[in-house]
Amino acid sequence: MRVIIIGGTSGIGRNLALKYSSRGDIVGVSGRREELLKSLKEEAPNKIFTKSFDVTSDNADASFLSLVEMMGGVDLCIYCAGYGVNTREIIPEKELTAVEINVKGFVRIVTTAFNYFKEKGSGHIATISSIAATKGLGIAACYSSSKRFQATYLEALEQVSNTNGFHIRFTTIQPGFIRTDFIHHDYPMVMDLEYAAKKIFKAINGCRRFVVIDLKWKIIVFLWRLIPKWLWVKLKIR
């Protein structure tokens, strides 16, 4: 299988890249930090292809297709790139950065992958969303909203695929807090990266449509959804 991981220089993306390459798959990895891409490629030089580009750039779609060409094609595209801040202050520049990466960049890459798979006749698109997508979080307003957008967008694309017979599969992964460079605060119930990545790897390869990682976070998400909006907006979440 040939897999592209968007945003694979560290954390979940890097871990998945090594898992796929160790399985014998051809893996393409994108990211902005060239030194990290180089070190990743050195771990599996015959299996990993890399290309440095920013998902928010106007030529990100062309860069994505260039990576596809380098790999000789792609069967699975995983969108791991993401940005968010934890703050009670609404800072326009930071909110818009989250929109650029989690919405604009996401749409640019996913639609490019969608059209590629449509022409190919089949494919699989997965995104690493977040349990933050369950409700609008005041401490991560744009992050939680943009992650919900991703899940809704993939749902819409799945409808397009099914009604037109494009044979494209979709997976939305919503992990709880994972111990990566992305975590800068003392969050509760933080999962070990390797533990979470194994579950994500299994869910994507099993072609699951929607998965919350892991059981304790499934329970929390279930309970969150039961909270009525009038009460939720009055809760002070740290």
Are 71 and 51 contacting, i.e. CB atoms less than 8 angstroms apart?
no
pLDDT digits 0-9 by tens, 22-37: 999 999 999 999 999 9
pLDDT digits 0-9 by tens, 117-168: 999 999 999 999 999 889 888 888 889 999 999 999 999 999 999 999 999 9
Are 114 and 127 contacting, i.e. CB atoms less than 8 angstroms apart?
no
pLDDT surpassing 70 at residue 177: yes
Structure tokens at 199: 């579950």
Q: What is the pTM of this model?
A: 0.93
With a CB cutoff of 8 Å and minimum separation 6, the contacts of 130 are 82, 143, 144, 147, 174, 175
If you average pLDDT over every residue of the chain, what do you get? 91
pLDDT at site 112: 98
Q: How far apart are CA 162 and CA 176, in angstroms?
A: 29
pLDDT surpassing 60 at residue 15: yes
Domain boundaries, the chain: 2-232
Q: How far apart are CA 56 and CA 64, in angstroms?
A: 12
**Three-state secondary structure call for residue 205:** helix
CATH superfamily entry for domain 2-232: NAD(P)-binding Rossmann-like Domain (3.40.50.720)
pLDDT at site 170: 98
Q: How far apart are CA 231 and CA 214, in angstroms?
A: 26
Q: pLDDT tier at 182 (50, 70, 90 boundaries)?
A: low
Per-position b or e across 84-115, b if 16+ CB within 10 A of its CB: bbeeeeeeeebbebbbbbbbebbebbbebbbe
Span 78-90, average pLDDT: 83
Neighbours of 164 (CB within 10 A): 10
pLDDT surpassing 70 at residue 186: no
Q: How far apart are CA 176 and CA 82, in angstroms?
A: 14
Q: Report the Cα–Cα distance between both ends of the chain, in Å, rounded.
A: 42
Q: How far apart are CA 163 and CA 56, in angstroms?
A: 30
Helices and strands (H and E) in the chain: how many: 9, 7
pLDDT at site 46: 83
pLDDT surpassing 90 at residue 185: no
Please choose, from the candidates 188, 170, 190, 189, the residue with its C-alpha nearest in 3D space to the C-alpha of residue 180: 190
pLDDT digits 0-9 by tens, 35-55: 999 999 898 878 999 999 999
Are 105 and 56 contacting, i.e. CB atoms less than 8 angstroms apart?
yes
Structure tokens at 131: 């349990």
Are 182 and 82 contacting, i.e. CB atoms less than 8 angstroms apart?
yes
